[in-house]
Amino acid sequence: MFDLLIQNASLPDGRQQMSVAVKNGKIVEVSPGLNAPAQQNLDAKGQLLSPPFVDAHFHMDATLSYGLPRVNQSGTLLEGIALWGELKPLLTQEALIERALAYCDWAVAKGLLAIRTHVDVCDDRLLAVDALLEVKRQVAPYIDLQLVAFPQDGVLRSLTALANLKRALDKGVDVVGGIPHFERTMSEGAASVRLLCELAAEQGKLVDMHCDESDDPLSRHIETLAFETQRLGLHGRELGIAHFIQHQQHRLTVAPNRVHPTTAWCDQLGAQLPQGHKAYRVPRVQGFPGQTTGQMGFPDAGWPHQDHIGRGFDKV
């Protein structure tokens, strides 16, 4: 007898009127029109049955905080970061937990069951870290919640950020984060990547950095991240690169001689490169197909074809 039998389901590959049988928490059979005894039967009535959705990049410590302490009038990232700085001293652990749990309820209702969220460690109280660790404990039965220790103000720029980041890891945070383009100088940005990758290698942690979230064509910390990944042997682990951006007006200059080889290098190292919230994966072949995605305005010569774009992760 099965524990659960779902019937009349449509699957993502186009198959319809499918049955999915579950026993001991695992899918044991997928076949059309299966009739068998089960402790629980569900009729999908032709609706889509799919694996859970995944949000690979989120900031749950700031979720549902619109208008706190005021509305972002410019709509820009810089004002958003400034607003977060104004809000941090006003945060309470209870409010953080309440908002995060409300968001998690919404996420589950939409089929989102795996979330990687960055959590700011530049507050010496580590209030958000403690709050999200508690949220992680509470939602563990139904959401795989992974936390990234994120030095929002820069791990070198903020005097206590590195010590706080290490404390967060000691508390149980899963991933080492960074924001090299937010450091004071380009060289300090590169140094922060080196420092954080060495810390991840030492502690056996994953790495997920905000990288080159800037319209400056000379902001190329992704190259340092790829180099450090190779130098320290981090490839083979999961490597996340968030908000990898190059401004449209610079692409014709940057893309042919910098983005292509760097993207290929990152792909060889197992890194996932998002453009906004779309994750681009370059095929592991010599050279590149001479086609464009048709979405992001990349030059036609040498950018991966639409068929090679991986799944994008959009926030709920």
Of residues 252 and 127, more confidently modeled: 127
The answer on 168 and 25 residing in a single domain is: no
The answer on 63 and 37 residing in a single domain is: no
Residue 71 pLDDT > 60, yes or no? Answer: yes
d(CA 274, CA 5): 37
Averaged pLDDT for residues 129-144? 97
The answer on 154 and 15 residing in a single domain is: no
pLDDT tens track for 95-106: 999 999 999 999
pLDDT tens track for 209-235: 998 887 778 888 989 998 999 999 887
The answer on 39 and 106 residing in a single domain is: no
- 48 located within any domain: no
The answer on 16 and 87 residing in a single domain is: no
Question: Which phi-psi region, left, alpha or beta, contains residue 287 (left: φ > 0; alpha: ψ -120 to 50)?
Answer: left
Averaged pLDDT for residues 244-266? 50
Instruction: Write the CA distances from 116 to 26, 73, 273, integer angstroms.
Output: 23, 28, 15
Averaged pLDDT for residues 124-135? 97
- 315 located within any domain: no
User: In this structure, how many other beta carbons lie within 10 angstroms of the beta carbon of residue 31?
Assistant: 11
Q: Which structural domain range is residue 8 located in?
A: 2-43
Model pTM score: 0.76
Output phi, psi for 252, to 5 deg: -65, -25
Query: Looking at the 3D structure of the chain, how many domains does it have?
Result: 2
Structure tokens given for 170: 């000691």
The one-letter amino acid code at 22 reads V
Q: Please give the positions annotated as active site.
A: 213
The answer on 232 and 125 residing in a single domain is: yes
What CATH number does residue 224 fall under? 3.20.20.140
Residue 39 pLDDT > 50, yes or no? Answer: yes
The answer on 135 and 23 residing in a single domain is: no
- 313 located within any domain: no
- For residue 148, the SS3 value is strand
